[in-house]
A = this chain, B = another copy of it.
Amino acid sequence: MKIIAEQVVSVNTKEELAKFAKALAHPTRIEILHLLNTQSCCFTGDLVEVLPIAQSTVSQHLKELKNAGLIQGEINPPKIKYCINKENWQKAKLLFAAFFE
């Protein structure tokens, strides 16, 4: 057995990293995040216009990104404006950077 037993990456970190990675594990979600990150914010309708998929599917992807904590929505009647959740974005950035050393 040549594996060092001590757990250098905590269970929580490991799972948190996997959660963020899962959110990024689809080209559409990568694109959404990239658009939000370069555009500051935008409405669901704007995304639907740009992406080659149905509105309901876009909504689902947004929901996943929201659940992962990477974006947040703000009601701006009658639209909903989505932005990067900067706090968690930074967290994810640091986790990935640390993971890759």
Residues of A near any B CB (own CB < 8 A): 1-5, 8-9, 11, 14-15, 17-18, 21-27, 29-31, 33-35, 37-39, 42-43, 46-47, 49-50, 89, 92-93, 96-97, 99-101
Residue in B43, B50, B101 whose CB lies within 8 Å of A37: B101
Given contacts A22-B25, A30-B9, A30-B17, contact A35 B3 (CB under 8 A): yes
Number of copies: 2
Cβ A39 vs Cβ B100 within 8 A: no
Best-surrounded residue of A3, A43, A92 (most CB of chain B within 10 A): A3
Contacts of A39 in B (CB 8 A): 2-4
Cβ B38 vs Cβ A4 within 8 A: yes
